[in-house]
Amino acid sequence: MTERYYIGNQGAKVGDKVVLNRGESHHLSCVMRVNEGDVVCLFGAGKEFEGIVRKLRPAVEIEITKERTPIPPPRIALTVAFPWLRGGKSEWVLQKLTELGVERVILFQSNRSVARGDEAKFQRLEKIAIESCKQCERSDVPLICQMASFSNLLSLATELGPTVLLAERSSAPLLSRSLKDIIPVELSRRCPLVIISGPEGGFTPEEIEAAKERVTFASLGPRILRADLAPLVGATVALAMAGDL
């Protein structure tokens, strides 16, 4: 796999000279030992480029010489929301959602959340998303945001598009059945979809009640999935229903 370097959302085009940030500059010059005049691959904002390294210090400067065709995004603009999880599991879930092609990831605090997010954790997530894009050859980094409460999440989710809440131990229809009424058989354009997954211990009765009139409830089957697995299964089912997997 060719090493790829992230240039952010600069609106770059062929002929531009872009400067890599400190982390990318260090990786290119000190870890990969790239020299001036070498050709490298760049990505960001859904675009892919080739460029020639013009300067290595004080920061790496690259002249863009060619635009490449990126891997297209999934046919649905998928948002997945899940609570902060313990033991680095939030990072692992974000990594896998990025590899699947999820457009937006929302982390939130629910009534039964044990883990708490902070600025350091949030910045770490952004770095993980970029590294995951490099690995899976994705050209757009998912938008990551956090909500302070479940009620705030519901307000944002319903603004973004049709919202499905994954409810354990419920009589709700399977997610695959629910999505048949949401995802068109023939997709003429990218349609939005939001999937909300719960914390360890599940949603409280109060949270379920608050969501009743605002979202569609769906089940992932009779087995109870861990809080780090459920959002990945939900995203996989949705992408498969849209014809992306």
Confirm if 12 and 6 have CB atoms less than 8 A apart.
no
Tally Cβ neighbours within 10 Å of residue 132.
20
Domain boundaries, the chain: 4-68, 76-241
Residue 236, pLDDT score: 98
Residue 162, pLDDT score: 94
Identify the CATH assignment for 76-241 out of 3.90.550.40, 3.10.20.340, 1.10.468.10, 3.40.1280.10.
3.40.1280.10
Could you list the mean pLDDT of each consecutive 10-residue stretch along the chain, which spans 245 residues?
Answer: 83 93 92 93 95 93 95 94 93 97 95 84 93 94 93 94 90 92 77 94 92 93 93 97 90
Q: Nearest 5°: phi and psi at 99?
A: -65, -30
Confirm if 123 and 129 have CB atoms less than 8 A apart.
no
The pTM (predicted TM-score) of the whole model is: 0.91
Distance, CA of 53 to CA of 34 (rounded, Å): 8
Superfamily name and number for 4-68 = Hypothetical PUA domain-like; domain 1 (2.40.240.20)
Distance, CA of 101 to CA of 127 (rounded, Å): 16
Distance, CA of 42 to CA of 134 (rounded, Å): 10
HEC string for the chain: CCCEEECCCCCCCCCCEEECCHHHHHHHHHHCCCCCCCEEEEEECCEEEEEEEEECCCCCEEEEEEEECCCCCCCEEEEEEEECCCCCHHHHHHHHHHHHCCCEEEEECCCCCCCCCCHHHHHHHHHHHHHHHHHHCCCCCCEEEEECCHHHHHHHHHHHCCEEEECCCCCCCEHHHHHHCCCCCCCCCCEEEEEECCCCCCCCHHHHHHHCCCCEEEECCCCCCCCCCHHHHHHHHHHHHCCCC
Residue 114, pLDDT score: 81
User: In CATH terms, are 4-68 and 76-241 the same topology?
Assistant: no
Query: Cβ contacts of residue 161 below 8 Å, gap of 6+?
Result: 77, 79, 191, 192, 193, 194
Q: Which residue has the tokens 């949401």?
A: 182
